[in-house]
Amino acid sequence: MNILAIPTTVGLSKPQSGGQNRFCNLVNCQAANNRIVVLEPDHLYDEGDADVAQVYTYHDIEALRRRLSIFRDINPDFIRKAARIIRDEEIDLIQITHPVEHWRPGCSVSLRAGR
C-alpha cells in the first residue's frame, strides 16, 4: 500500500516531544509493510528522513518572521505538492497527523484515496 503521511508541526526525524515520537514510530512501523511518502515543511527536513520514507517538502507561509503552519490548507506550495504526490505516487491512503493541544493527545486521521 502507498501511504502519504502528512505531519503538521513535526518532522520525521529527531523527535523532541511525545507527538513527534508517536509520528516517527507510526511511520517506521508502517514502513515495514508499506511504501511511505511523507510531505513535511522544508525547515523540518533531515537527510536521515530518506532512510525511512520518500520525503517531499514544501515551504511554509511566513509572516512577521513566524512560520504559519496552521494555514497549510491555503498554502499554494503545499497544495501543489500534495496534488502532485497523490497523482504521481499512486497514493492509497492519506494519513494526517495534528496535535490538538499541548495537554491533549494528538489525533491522526486516515483517508482512503480513490483511483
Which amino acid, 67?
A: R
Question: pTM score > 0.85 for this model?
Answer: no
What string of H, E and C letters represents the secondary structure of 24-65? HHHHHHHHCCCEEEEEEEHHHCCHHHHHCCEEEEECCCEECC
pLDDT for res 4: 94
Q: How far apart are CA 39 and CA 73, in angstroms?
A: 13
- 62-63 vs 66-67, strand pairing mode: antiparallel
Give the pLDDT of residue 21: 82
Q: What structural domains does the chain harbor?
A: 2-112 (3.40.1380)
Chunked mean pLDDT (size 10), the chain, 115 residues: 84 75 86 92 84 88 65 79 92 79 48 52
Contact 17, 11 (CB under 8 A): no
pLDDT at 104: 47
